[in-house]
Chain A
Amino acid sequence: MSAAATPILSATGLEKNFFGVTVLKGVGIDLYPGTVHGLVGENGAGKSTLMKIIAGVYVRDGGDLMFDGRPVNFTHPLQAMKAGVATVFQEFNLLPDRSVAENVFLGREPRKHGFVDNAGMASATAALLAELGIDFIDPTARVSTLSVAEQQVVEITKALSFDARVISMDEPTAALADNEVELLYGIVEKLKARGVAILYVSHRLKEIFDLCDSITVMKDGALVSTGPAADLTTDELVRRMVGRSISTFFPAAIEGTVVGDTVLSVRDGGNAYITGIDLDLRAGEIVGVAGLQGSGRTELAEAIFGAMPLTRGRLELNGSPIVIHSPRKAVKSGIALITEDRKAQGLALDQSVLDNALLVIRGVFPGRTRAARRSVPGVLASLEISSRGLDQEVQFLSGGNQQKVVLAKWLASSPRVVILDEPTRGIDVGAKVAVYNLMRDLAKDGVAILMISSELPEVIGMSDRILVMHDGRIEAELEAGSSEETVLAAATGTLRASSGEVAL
């Protein structure tokens, strides 16, 4: 970051209103070639709005946007892309049934003698991928066969194919496992070396400090601070974002929480995706599950919940054997699963807050609907959901509030075992803390909790015991407060030799 450099993109005094509500108040940001600029703030702070104005998705109500020394007015994302301002959104804009190359060049397919040059398109894509240091993605592979991380690489390649000079990334690691994050780091370095300016939005502060040269903090639609990353500490950053320090991040167990009897136990359980599972969940205990993406964490949750039932081994609930062959059976038995993907699996997006909150009750315990109708507003209020009312469609809520609706939906069924799969993915710090507090409350009430998470600090900060999965097995059981290094070693299978635990 040389002080003499001029910004490639410079925004000053950006304003945006939605239906009379100001969501962006005079925010400015400067992006310099070859640098990474972090943008942090709680959800609702206006980060997305700022990004979308730069990307041409929204038209600003006030302020100026300069790109490459000229004022610009992007009114369509494509216009911004063509000018050299690309955005990698959380929801990918890819066609799953088309090949990598066809996606990268969609709408600009190279032609030879008037016909699409498929071979040339594939080799051009391979060349772009090579520039990012990627040699394991086949340009002719269908996008649906790629992992989430690889699909993200395709999005970035698409941006690169427009010769983008500014690339905004919205929560690029939200759906990635730790080893995949390394890949993204590598790509960001490559982009920097090319002189691309990167606007990096993330809730993961570690990444912000790892990657960013400068950091802009936003709160309530306004700018809090902007400056070199070196001048900030994690504590200071969190304080600026939320007005409280990181020590309050993970609440301690509530006084009076007792670890009681075993509620659910699995002995030598397995199915097509996991095997040799031995597991005990006790009332009032929070058990964390760590592991790399694809290690079988989600599959473990789905097996217990009956979505992908166990085909081997025994499952006991409150001491008596039970076969859970469907989610319906699981719900009836008092098990709840807060899924990883709340939009696809947790919510009916175009239904109201109330309808979503009553979904489980109506579906499984219709007799309790009347009672639940009365209790749900209280549950929602206790979760501090900010919505315009119970009849607002959940698609218009922020990620954190949507997650709270999912939680409310399950709390309404009064479960005894709650499984949370990535409960804080893509939600802001305030909502995260609300989720943590809720978990502690549930534990206090004697609920057994299984929490799956990719974020190690979260697993370590919240769990009474930590299970680490690797290759479809529970690789290790670690005690509360284990170090990140130990958990990672188990997750990558390198702990095996030292612990003497050998998988058959």
Chain B
Amino acid sequence: MTANTVTGLTSPRRRIRLDSTVIVYIALIGVIIVGALLVNSVGRNFFSDGNIRDILTGMSVLGLVAVGQTLVILTGSLDLSVPYVISLSSLIAAETMRGSAANIAQGVLFALLVAAIIGLANGLIVTKLKVNGFIATLGVGLMISGYLGTMYKGSAGRVPAEFQVIGATGIGPVPISTIIMLALAGLVFLFLRKTRTGHHIYAVGGSVDVARLSGLRTAQPVIIAHIICSVTAGMAGLLLASRLGVGSPTVGSQGGYDLLSIAAVVLGGTILAGGRGSIWGTIGGVAIFAVLDSVMSVMQVNPFLKDVVRGIVIVAAVAVYTGRAIQQRRARFATRATTPDASTATEATK
């Protein structure tokens, strides 16, 4: 930040705002501390290699999906088709590989290509047919779901052992899958920051009118965001196939990745209406979910209560964000001071 040379006009209302990404990570640290204490109370070690590995593994699949979902939400759209793309891509990969290491590349490419085509379809429906993203992707999701339901009665195909390594190994306590997810998050971060399309994703989500009047092709960023989102969902499907060893028509929907990824994105400080948010916020949101899940498994909390806790966290987070958004004007005087001038206007300081 450059220094503010105050020349008459700088309003005292300006203040240094705590970035929402920072808040997410503060919340994450809070959750880790509380979680560690709870885990400790039942005689287990939160920071054991095994536990860290569990948490990071839990982050990888949801992280992949949420990174893509972030892009889509930034444009002001949504993607509800991700769970079905996940299932479909796990099946395509497993069936193409048929247990043979020679077919790995082929299987991966084919699965991701199909995912990309679905993303393209989503993007075109949203931008060209002007169908709201919620409805468009719900419809596409239903179509895929129908296909999966009629074509598969259970898991199918088989991935070779060489491919299963991705889901099963790691460097120290850090699983390969998490490294892949974080690398992808880094790439998407750079994409948003260093490419015009990245900038335009924010612009289109912020205001389509402003974007159009500035000469942007307003459809292109939305379509690209949808394609990337479907591809990351496809990658999540590949990862799940590598863990399961087979393709499964229900692996995506069982995970509830549609709503969970949207929740993680929102938890990470991205605004559902689009135009504002960050990838690292999303990763923080995913981490919070993973830590919560891990702590609750160790504590053997029943599944019903798990969802209640998740729900409370999401609602509380959004309540905090909106509270901050409304509190735009900086208070000049104490709300209930006995001496009315206890706090006169001072420049906002860090």
- Chain A interface residues toward B at CB < 8 A: 77-78, 81-82, 93-98, 102, 106-109, 111, 115-116, 118, 135-136, 138, 140, 145-147, 149-150, 179-180, 183, 268, 270-276, 294, 296, 299, 311-312, 471-472, 503-504
Contact = CB atoms under 8 A, between A and B. Distances in A.
A116 B195 contact: yes
A93 B9 contact: no
A180 B9 contact: yes
Contacts of B214: 78, 93, 106-107
B203 A275 contact: no
B213 interface: yes
Interface in B143-195: 193-195
Q: Which 10 pairs, one residue from A and one from B, show the smallest C-beta to C-beta distance?
A: A272-B331, A95-B206, A97-B276, A78-B215, A115-B194, A107-B214, A106-B214, A107-B215, A275-B333, A275-B340
A97 B275 contact: yes
Interface in B195-221: 195-196, 198-200, 202-203, 206-207, 209-211, 213-216
B254 interface: no
A136 B14 CA distance: 12
B128 interface: no
B335 A271 contact: yes
A111 B206 contact: no
Contacts of A107: 200, 203, 211, 214-216
B312 interface: no
Given A78-B214, A107-B214, A179-B9, A98 B335 contact: no
A116 B202 contact: no
B202 A97 contact: yes
Contacts of A312: 336-337, 340
11 contacts: A77-B213, A95-B202, A95-B207, A97-B206, A97-B275, A98-B203, A138-B1, A311-B335, A312-B337, A472-B333, A504-B340
A504 B341 CA distance: 7
Given A78-B214, A272-B333, 18 more contacts: A95-B206, A97-B206, A98-B275, A107-B214, A107-B215, A107-B216, A109-B199, A138-B4, A140-B2, A150-B9, A179-B8, A179-B9, A271-B333, A272-B329, A273-B333, A275-B340, A275-B341, A472-B333
Contacts of A296: 332
Contacts of B129: none
A297 to B, nearest CB: 13
B210 A145 contact: no
B198 A116 contact: yes
Contact of B332 (A82, A183, A272): A272
A488 B331 CA distance: 25
Contacts of B336: 311-312
B13 interface: yes
Contacts of A471: 332, 344-345
Nearest to A96: B206
Contacts of B209: 93
Contacts of B300: none
Nearest to B212: A78
A494 B210 CA distance: 42
A147 B13 contact: yes
A272 B340 CA distance: 10
B10 interface: yes
B297 to A, nearest CB: 37
A472 B345 contact: yes
Given A77-B213, A472-B332, A136 B340 contact: no
Contacts of B211: 106-107
B196 A276 contact: no
A64 B146 CA distance: 60
A180 B10 CA distance: 10
B130 interface: no
Q: Quick one: which of A77, A94, A116 has the most chain B CB within 10 A?
A: A116
Nearest to B11: A147
A436 to B, nearest CB: 30
A84 to B, nearest CB: 15
Given A94-B210, A311-B335, A106 B6 contact: no
Contact of A294 (B13, B196, B276): B13
B105 interface: no
B7 interface: yes
B75 to A, nearest CB: 13
B9 A147 contact: yes
A149 B200 CA distance: 26
Contacts of A276: 340
Nearest to A94: B210
Contacts of A274: 332-333
Given A180-B9, A294-B13, A116 B213 contact: no
Given A93-B210, A95-B203, A272 B335 contact: yes
B30 interface: no
A94 B341 CA distance: 37
A106 B199 contact: yes
B216 A106 contact: yes
Interface in B1-45: 1-2, 4-14, 17
Contacts of B2: 138, 140
B333 A106 contact: no
B334 interface: yes
Interface in B289-308: none
Nearest to A78: B215
Nearest to A57: B213
Interface in B320-341: 329, 331-337, 340-341
Contacts of A115: 194-195
A108 B200 CA distance: 10
Contacts of A111: 196
